[in-house]
Structure 1
Amino acid sequence: MSELTLLSRVVETLSAFNDFSIAFRIVLAALMGGCIGSERGRHGRAAGFRTHILVCVGSAVTAIVGLYVNSVLSAPGDPMRLGAQVISGIGFLGAGTILTRNQSHITGLTTAAGLWATASIGLAVGVGYYWAATCAFLVVGITISILSRWEKIFRRSDFRIYYVELCDMKYVNPLLESLGEGILSVQVIPPRSDGTNHVGLLCGIGNQDQQTLDRLRTFDFVDIVLPDD
């Protein structure tokens, strides 16, 4: 059997709706979702490795179920109707990763958009559209890993990022209310010390806003203030 013939049979098997292709699609969705989620997890996002795997696999299974109902059970209707509900439903999960402060500063949008894109990749894998899923996976990976570095370079001219560690989660809101517009952005991350109940923050402070930085260091519940370079 020639290599071309073998490759053709593999492609035909993966494109068909059978037990092997279904298992392959679920595993592929888990791998793609895990790769995207691992980058988010390294940056301390709430939706990380496991969340993205579950979103991608769940979306793939939803698409597979739609195809199964249509092709195997011969039920009438649009096989992608279930998949359409994933796109709208993932918005509720993405909204939980977005933090809005002072009605002007928003963080978590990249993670929320990543969850939505991961769900779409899962749907593409579930229906066997491997080329589109692979292209989308590569573009998403480049966007959240490589392009984020360019974003930091552009932002450094406006403000610097400081790592701030509080002794308890309950002090996050009082801190933000006290400093007001002095903090341009904030992101909650796991603490870097071993302190019990501690919480870490990545705070964006204007380069010329020394007053906010000085006030930040005077609070009793603030344990660490360091430039996050």
Structure 2
Amino acid sequence: MHAFQLPNYLYDVNIISVTIRLLLAVLFGGVIGLERGANNHPAGFRTHILVCVGATLAMLTDQYICQYLATNADPARLGAQVITGVGFLGVGTIFVTGKHKIKGLTTAAGLWASACLGLALGIGFYSGAVIAGILIFISLALLPKVENYFYHNTRMINLYVEMDSLHNYRDFVSKIKNMGITVLETHVSSSGPVATSGMAFHISIKLPKSLRFDEIRDMLYDFEGMVLLEEI
């Protein structure tokens, strides 16, 4: 029994159901892709549509094989291959910046979710596809505001620092410890400095409850030998 009481022919492989499923794949893939593209992410409108339509077609092909050619075939075989293949595609959207900041994870996850959405559409799981499509869009378009609110008020901060010398960096670490800031981890950046011929460092700190990073940002930037200071 299906969650949505749709006509039975929509769950079979025929010209009407194939058209509806592929059009829904274009619609949902396009909506998700528009959100990514509008925010200047690597995989946008057309990429998400192609992934979603391709996954839908794979499951349609699976259902067609099981329905008309080999009734004992495994209907999940092509779908499993699609999920694996999209995983490799998603890796292409992930990159690490010179400051060791990882970008593209959300876009890669969005591609993978679009593929799963297409698989649901392709097999005729309309209710799951519609609900998932709405939730995926909400996750990408609206939840970042919630995420930013909590991250803005976090006590744990990762900093990228460029100093003109190792001596001044050691003084910098010593002075922030005297401010009650806990230094959790610090290491030299393997990629080298971006803005100077000095030295680049990554440092993880934990602020006391009485301090906010916005309140001490300018003060940290004024330390002797400081060339660049960014939160990552």
Q: TM-score, normalised by structure 2?
A: 0.66
Q: Of residues 82, 86, 90 in structure 1, which corresponds to 2:82?
A: 86
Q: Of residues 56, 59, 65 in structure 1, which corresponds to 2:61?
A: 65
**1:212 CA displacement:** 6.3
2:111 match: 115
Q: Of residues 131, 144, 149 in structure 2, which corresponds to 1:148?
A: 144
1:181 match: 202
> Hey, what's the Cα distance between the residues in 1 that align with 2:201 and 2:13?
56
> Hey, what's the Cα distance between the residues in 2 that align with 1:115 and 1:27?
18
Question: Which stretch of structure 1 is more off in the superposition, 13-22 or 173-182?
Answer: 173-182
**1:107 CA displacement:** 2.0
1:52 and 1:118 in contact (8 A); partners too: yes
Question: Which stretch of structure 1 is more off in the superposition, 122-131 or 141-150?
Answer: 141-150
2:56 and 2:121 in contact (8 A); partners too: yes
> Hey, what's the Cα distance between the residues in 1 that align with 2:102 and 2:44?
19
Q: Percent of counterpart pairs with the same letter? A: 41
**1:153 CA displacement:** 1.8
Number of equivalent positions: 179
Quickly say closer, same or farther: Cα 1:152–1:75, change in 2 above 3 A.
Answer: same
**1:101 CA displacement:** 4.7
- Say whether residues 1:43 and 2:43 are aligned partners: no
1:63 and 1:83 in contact (8 A); partners too: yes
> Hey, what's the Cα distance between the residues in 2 that align with 1:157 and 1:142?
22
- RMSD over equivalenced CA pairs, Å: 3.4
Where does structure 1 lack aligned partners over 5 or more consecutive residues? 1-6, 160-171, 183-205, 218-229
Where 1:45 maps in the other structure, the secondary structure is: coil
> Hey, what's the Cα distance between the residues in 2 that align with 1:179 and 1:21?
58
**1:179 CA displacement:** 4.9
> Hey, what's the Cα distance between the residues in 2 that align with 1:51 and 1:95?
14
Q: TM-score, normalised by structure 1?
A: 0.67
Q: Of residues 13, 16, 25 in structure 1, which corresponds to 2:9?
A: 13
Where 2:73 maps in the other structure, the secondary structure is: coil
Quickly say closer, same or farther: Cα 1:175–1:104, change in 2 above 3 A.
Answer: closer
Where 2:96 maps in the other structure, the secondary structure is: strand
Where does structure 2 lack aligned partners over 5 or more consecutive residues? 158-190, 204-212
Quickly say closer, same or farther: Cα 1:212–1:96, change in 2 above 3 A.
Answer: farther
Quickly say closer, same or farther: Cα 1:64–1:38, change in 2 above 3 A.
Answer: same
